[in-house]
Homo-oligomer: A and B are copies of this chain.
């Protein structure tokens, strides 16, 4: 789906910054950090606008944030970004490679329900698996 259509679908203004941000994400099959996106956005990158736009796009359901560790946040397009209001936004887990640092969305592995004590009211479950990816895997 074209960046401009994604914005339209979600009732977001089509600005150059937002188009560049979405295109940066579309150019990579892996979730990307701000720095990686910055390179791809070249002169369309402004740090403050970037932070405001990732927030706006996340709120609108276009992208999701992945907290890899306390100093690393990555961003990825949502799989079903075509649908304006997806009732049950598909939640998946992530994998991060300790060697190359790449992050992967494991779209096909469902997050499990955990039998936590009844006094806790769970709303979200974030699962991050760390290890070695298919490129770095040491048999």
A-side residues, CB < 8 A to B, are: 65, 67, 69-71, 73, 93, 95, 98, 104, 106, 109, 112, 114-117, 119-134, 137-138
Contact = CB atoms under 8 A, between A and B. Distances in A.
A130 B124 CA distance: 5
- Number of identical protomers: 2
Contacts of A112: 112, 114
Contact of A121 (B114, B124, B131): B131
Contacts of A129: 114, 116, 120, 122, 124-126
B130 A123 contact: yes
B93 A121 contact: no
A129 B70 CA distance: 17
Contacts of A125: 127-130
28 contacts: A67-B67, A67-B70, A93-B114, A95-B120, A95-B122, A98-B123, A104-B120, A106-B114, A106-B117, A109-B114, A109-B115, A114-B127, A114-B129, A116-B129, A117-B134, A120-B137, A121-B137, A121-B138, A122-B129, A122-B130, A122-B131, A123-B132, A125-B130, A126-B126, A126-B127, A126-B128, A126-B129, A126-B130
